């Protein structure tokens, strides 16, 4: 057991910060020290913002996004094309796609991928609510934007099966050469996928 350099309150702060993705024990110590030193400028506003977030964060019952209102800001945005739904694994993916600003449509957050080895089946994901949503609303296209992993692709096939018979087009993200990527550095799987998803110039 390493010896403590500060009182239990500060040690607890460090331990909790170390659980934040991207921060290890060392970065957590640095962050804690920064917070303590900048008590008025950083620590107090951060503590207040966290308390507000704790009290107001909600999960959208329509799409699974997190926000301070339900339905969320995206679901209630009248300027979006509500005939297209992008299906993602996680809220982080939704935020990434929004940053790209390539589409102005709606989303559906699955909350993970099918993974029998980890005991995650269809009932553990927001798949049923997706099927109900697509059946009820005027959806014309579903874009399945799950990760290019075995679990992601298994999940994509399962969703496609569940939506079978509905009058919608189901598409998925292209797999292939990243923007700015050099062919020589790509693995065989990516190159094969890129060749199969080739498009006409």
Contact positions toward Zn ion, by CB under 5 A? 60, 62-63, 65, 71-72, 75
| Cα angle: 169, vertex 189, 152; to 5 degrees | 45
Q: How far is the CB of 84 from Zn ion (least distance, A)?
A: 14
CA distance 104 to 97: 10
Where are the extended beta strands (E) located within 79-192?
81-88, 105-109, 141-144, 169-172
Q: How far is the CB of 155 from Zn ion (least distance, A)?
A: 20
Closer to Zn ion by CB, 71 or 122: give it. 71
Does 71 sit behind a cis peptide bond, omega within 30 degrees of 0 on the bond before it? yes
DSSP secondary structure letter of residue 78: T
Closer to Zn ion by CB, 69 or 196: give it. 69
Q: How far is the CB of 63 from Zn ion (least distance, A)?
A: 3
Closer to Zn ion by CB, 91 or 159: give it. 91
Q: How far is the CB of 127 from Zn ion (least distance, A)?
A: 16
Closer to Zn ion by CB, 93 or 151: give it. 93
H or E element, residue 15: helix 8-17
Closer to Zn ion by CB, 88 or 114: give it. 88
Q: Is 167 exposed, middle or buried (0-12, 13-18, 19+ CB in 10 A)?
A: exposed
Q: How far is the CB of 64 from Zn ion (least distance, A)?
A: 7
CA distance 64 to 58: 9
């Amino acid at each position: 057991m390493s010896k403590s350099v500060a009182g239990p309150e500060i040690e607890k702060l460090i331990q909790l910060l170390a659980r934040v993705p991207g921060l290890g024990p060392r970065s957590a110590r640095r962050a804690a020290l920064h917070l303590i030193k900048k008590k008025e400028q950083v620590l107090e506003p951060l503590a207040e913002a966290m308390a507000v977030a704790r009290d107001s964060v909600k999960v959208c019952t329509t799409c699974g996004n997190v926000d301070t209102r339900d339905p969320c800001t995206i679901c209630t945005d009248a300027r979006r094309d509500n005939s297209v739904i992008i299906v993602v694994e996680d809220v982080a993916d939704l935020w990434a796609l929004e940053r790209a600003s390539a589409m102005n449509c709606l989303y559906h957050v699955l909350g993970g991928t099918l993974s029998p080895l980890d005991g995650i089946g269809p009932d553990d994901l927001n798949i049923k609510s997706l099927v109900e949503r697509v059946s009820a609303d005027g959806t014309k296209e579903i874009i399945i934007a799950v990760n290019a992993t075995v679990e992601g692709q298994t999940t994509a096939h399962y969703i496609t099966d569940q939506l079978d018979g509905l009058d919608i087009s189901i598409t998925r993200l292209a797999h292939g050469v990243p923007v700015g990527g050099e062919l020589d550095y790509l693995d065989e799987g990516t190159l094969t996928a890129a060749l199969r998803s080739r498009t006409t110039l």
